[in-house]
Amino acid sequence: MIDLKTKTKTVIMTGGFIPHFAWRPDSKSVVFFSEPGMMEYFVETGELKTSKSFKSFGHYILKDGRFAVVREDGVYYYTPDRQFIKSVKIWDPSMIQEHQYDMGFYHRISWDGRFMVYMLQNITYFIRLDDPKHPLWRTDEWYRSGGFGPEGKYFYHSVFRIDLKTGKQDRLLEWPCIDHDCAGSIGNTTIYNLGAAK
């Protein structure tokens, strides 16, 4: 963890698995996966707790504190203390390929819980979570990183901004390595939870 004011670094722990970091809305703790299961690190005290894990392909903490958990058929919602609220069925489990049960698949949910992007069977879908069966748009473009803007109008990917209504993509920055493989370039940067940084 990096403190952006003091420029100090804290090693929370070491371990395996894709962590799926998710900050609580008050920024006092961060929830993530590691080898023991679901962990929560408390910034002020430095305490690290293990808690019951969700069986999932990743989780998000929305700005109202709810957990949004990506499961085999869609998104499941839980209270901040992990009590089940409801589920939203989005895809058929048969769309998930066998290797994705180990490796996972790409998805992002906006901090306000309104939008989701996910990629299954090489198609990327942008949806509203209140109407998941009617995608805003779909594309065969791959998005391996990115994040929804706090204003609910755009999805930001690398140096591009994508209009959620039209799918139109605007380039925000010229970068020499962006159109070809250039190790360590900004094109490989992952953006999470732009709303939380506001």
Give which of 106, 101, 148 is closest to 128, Cα–Cα. Answer: 148
| pLDDT tens figures, 49-60 | 998 778 889 899
Residue 69 lies in a domain: no
| pLDDT tens figures, 142-189 | 877 788 888 788 998 878 889 988 888 888 877 555 454 444 444 444
**pTM of the prediction?**
0.79
Q: Domain total for the chain?
A: 1
Residue 165 lies in a domain: yes
Expressed as residue numbers, the domain containing 97 is 90-197
| Helix and strand element counts for the chain (H, E) | 1, 18
Q: CA gyration radius for the chain?
A: 17
Residue 176 lies in a domain: yes
Residue 18 lies in a domain: no
Residue 8 lies in a domain: no
Residue 130 lies in a domain: yes
Residue 78 lies in a domain: no
